[in-house]
């Protein structure tokens, strides 16, 4: 599990791509390692596809600051800048 978290976090540290691209920006695909893309999946990890970009950006900021408690998201969020989070959030918001 730790190895998967490290791999996901390292992938998320890559430079962002354009949110208008049909391809996910660098780092975005790693989110699905924990956050299911299957609407029917029963998991305690919240689904993030289809949430608003503003909601995702706010959640990442809260995780990064420690305002929102977490198990691993606080550590992952600290590895991203706002400029990296915005295109990832924009892309995730377009996924249904």
Counting Cβ atoms within 10 Å, is residue 41 exposed (0-12), middle (13-18) or buried (19+)?
A: exposed
Question: Any idea what the CATH number is for the domain that residue 36 is in?
Answer: 1.10.760.10
Tell me which residue of 25, 27, 43, 23 sits closest to 35, measured CA to CA: 43
pLDDT (tens digit, 9 = 90+) per residue, 30-70? Answer: 898 899 888 788 888 998 988 999 999 999 999 999 999 99
Q: pTM for this structure? A: 0.73
For residue 21, the model assigns a pLDDT of 55
Distance in angstroms (rounded) separating the CA atoms of residues 46 and 25: 21
Structural domain harbouring 61: 2-94
Number of domains in the chain: 1
Of 4-18, 24-38, 75-89, the range with the lowest mean pLDDT is: 4-18
């Amino acid at each position: 599990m730790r190895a998967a978290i490290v791999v996901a976090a390292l992938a998320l540290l890559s430079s962002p791509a354009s949110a208008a691209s049909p391809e996910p920006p660098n780092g975005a695909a790693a989110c699905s390692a924990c956050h299911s893309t299957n609407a029917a999946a029963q998991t305690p990890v919240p689904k993030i596809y289809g949430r608003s970009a503003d909601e995702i950006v706010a959640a990442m900021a809260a995780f990064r600051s420690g305002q929102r408690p977490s198990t691993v998201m606080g550590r992952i969020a600290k590895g991203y800048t706002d400029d990296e989070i915005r295109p990832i959030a924009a892309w995730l918001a377009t996924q249904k």
